[in-house]
Structure 1
Amino acid sequence: MFTLIVDYAVAPDGGSLALSVERLDGKTECFVINRSFASRGTPDYNVVKSTLRSLSQNECEEIANHLGGLVTDATSIDLVADFIKTLKAQSSKVRDT
């Protein structure tokens, strides 16, 4: 599914996180956890979105399972763990995003 983590960042919008990964097809996909101040209290808060596709519940679980194997340095461990936790929570929600 993915070959490596390309980049990661914390946004100055209140805590949104971004994680860019290289896919097997060579494309870079960026996942973002929306934690902006503006989204707090809305259904969009703490939801993971992709720059390339809509994410179904099943895809969220599958992505979460693959991300753990990509951690290559101590700095990214907590960030990737946060994405895994958020994706798993999103996969158990009733609605797809």
Structure 2
Amino acid sequence: METACAQGWEARGLGLDCDQCRLHGFIPLHATSGSAVCPACFASALYQRENNKKAVEVVHRLNAFIDRAVDDGLLPHLLVAHRKNVVTRLAAVSKALDRAGFKIVAS
């Protein structure tokens, strides 16, 4: 999850339950405050809790691009393309080092 967050593929935040409009929302961590406010109706709301305990529950949400890719069945293709790009870059670096007289030893 750390890698996905660092690459912008998902966001951390707090879940929100509004008793007024029944919205089950998501507030990114950077936008949270001490008191929850529903983004739809602006009523006072509650952050979601872990198993009805006092601690709030940190939730994760995929960004819109990744979420749509999952819905369309494209995520495996994107991951393969990303992997292929990384392998291509490593091969280019290896070739350049070979030309310079260095050898890469796989471990």
Common topology (TM > 0.5): no
TM range (shorter): under 0.3
TM-score (norm 1): 0.25
Looking at secondary structure, tell me which structure has more helix per residue: 2
**Larger Rg computed on CA atoms:** 2
